[in-house]
Amino acid sequence: MKLHHLRTQLRYARSFQAALLVGGLAVIGLWGCGKDNVAAPHRVPLTLEAQGSGAPTQRFSTAAMLSAASAQDTIPVTFTRALITVRDIRFVLPEGEDRADTLGLGDNDSTDAEGSDTGGQVRFHGPFVIDLLAGDAQSLGTQMVPAGVYSMIMGHLQALAAGGPLATQYPDLVGATILLEGDIAGAGGGHFVYTARIDDEFIIHGSFNVTGDKPVTTFLVFDLSKLLMDRDGHFLDPRNLDNDQAIRQAIRHAIKMGVDRNRDGEPDDELSVAD
């Protein structure tokens, strides 16, 4: 009787182990099926292009307009070179805003991988040197990005480092973020070369719709008419060292962004301006 009872218990134990094994495999199978059935985020080809806007010759108002109110009281400035270095550009979905604000875009940024879209962000990783007088838009790359309405675009201006093909192509820009060269007409005018090291982020808030199945192009635009203009619209002479900080601020606020969804080569809506 004891031997029979022992054999019966052993059969029950084996049956129980088998049941556990089958149940475990079923759970794994269901989990695997569920994992396979989770739809991957829909992605859209996004191309980022950069360019300068406006003619090389700009007319800047002088402070004398405050008293004379004369439409003729302007200073013609002709740019012969205008180069700027951008370290990276990020497109941020609403759920990624808190993370973007926390990380910022400083040197300790931990998401340097090109094409990273963790945390609701997609990054175009540079550095990029943009010729603002080139006329045509310059492509900064194309990525497959999650479809959605991006609410923020963040970027970082940074000096061009020595070494590499960009430094060889633009030797005068090494160690600086921007190089402006040109001529100021009229009395007291003359030639100028302005360079500055600007390590600063810029943020553009808006509604940047990247949806559907067709490729989308975004434009990063630098307004030449704003580069040497203060917030009141007056000329900032780049030869005057006292204007350096104001020019740096003007450069940062001359950055705009727009989206071309209908593929006509132009932004569909009014350009959003950096804060």
DSSP assignment of 167-194 equals: HHH-GGGBT-SEEEEEEE-STT-EEEEE
- Give residues with Cβ within 8 angstroms of 158, minimum separation 6: 85, 86, 87, 127, 177, 198, 199
The pLDDT tens digits for 162-210 are 998 999 999 999 999 999 999 999 888 999 999 999 999 999 998 888 8
Distances (CA, A) of 167 to 7, 20, 116, 122, 201: 82, 65, 26, 26, 22
Q: What average pLDDT does this structure show over 79-104?
A: 79
Percent of the chain having pLDDT more than 90?
A: 48
Q: Where are the domains of the chain?
A: 1-38, 43-273
Rounded to whole angstroms, the Cα distance separating 241 from 52 reads 25
Of the listed ranges 93-102, 147-156, 172-181, the one predicted with least confidence? 93-102
Phi-psi region of 156 (alpha: psi -120 to 50; beta: other; left: phi over 0): beta
Give me the sign of the Cα torsion angle 119, 125, 131, 136.
negative
More confident residue, 259 or 92: 92
Is 70 exceeded by the pLDDT of residue 76? Answer: yes
Of the listed ranges 119-123, 146-150, 159-163, the one predicted with least confidence? 119-123
DSSP-derived secondary structure letter, 239? T
CB 266 within 8 A of CB 233: no
Strands 200-210, 148-157: pairing kind: antiparallel
Q: What average pLDDT does this structure show over 91-96?
A: 82
Rounded to whole angstroms, the Cα distance separating 228 from 120 reads 35
- Give residues with Cβ within 8 angstroms of 151, minimum separation 6: 92, 93, 94, 97, 205, 206, 207, 208
Strands 148-157, 178-184: pairing kind: unpaired
Backbone φ and ψ for 156, nearest 5 degrees, come out as -140, 125
The pLDDT tens digits for 232-253 are 888 999 999 999 999 999 999 9
Is 80 exceeded by the pLDDT of residue 261? Answer: no
Rounded to whole angstroms, the Cα distance separating 257 from 267 reads 9
Per-residue pLDDT, 62: 77
Cα 178–179–183 angle (5° rounding)? 140
Residue 42, classified by CB atoms within 10 Å of its CB into exposed (0-12), middle (13-18) or buried (19+), is exposed
- In the predicted model, what is the mean pLDDT of the chain? 78
